[in-house]
Amino acid sequence: MKTSNSTFGRVLCSLFGHNYVVSRKVTLHITEYQCTKCKCEMTTNELGRMDVLTPELKEINETLAKFYRRRQAILEHTLQSVA
């Protein structure tokens, strides 16, 4: 039987805890994290709490990121025309 790295990681994580690093900045308040050991993914929600990054949440974050980028682009454009 093959033992994958992530299975080994999961065992380590259950013993020592996850080691999350930022994998993606979605908005100012929402950030996605991935554990470097077991590769599991987490996200912060608008309440600032950590949630398991499910495919549904991933989709929501994707939509939020799109809106956020558009808003940033409009803001930058407005600032440029004022200056």
Judged by the rule CB under 5 A, the positions of this chain that interact with Zn ion are 13, 18, 35, 37-38
Report the C-alpha gap between 4 and 72 in whole angstroms: 41
- What's the min distance (Å) between Cβ of 62 and Zn ion? 23
φ, ψ for residue 11 (rounded to 5)?
-65, -45
- Closer to Zn ion by CB, 34 or 61: give it: 34
Q: For Zn ion, which is the closer residue by CB, 10 or 68?
A: 10
Output 13 or 30, the one with its CB closest to Zn ion. Answer: 13
- Shortest distance, CB of residue 83 to Zn ion, whole angstroms? 45
Give the C-alpha distances (Å, rounded to integers) separating 24 from 1, 36, 44.
34, 14, 11
Cα distance between residue 10 and residue 42, in whole Å: 14
Q: How far is the CB of 57 from Zn ion (least distance, A)?
A: 18
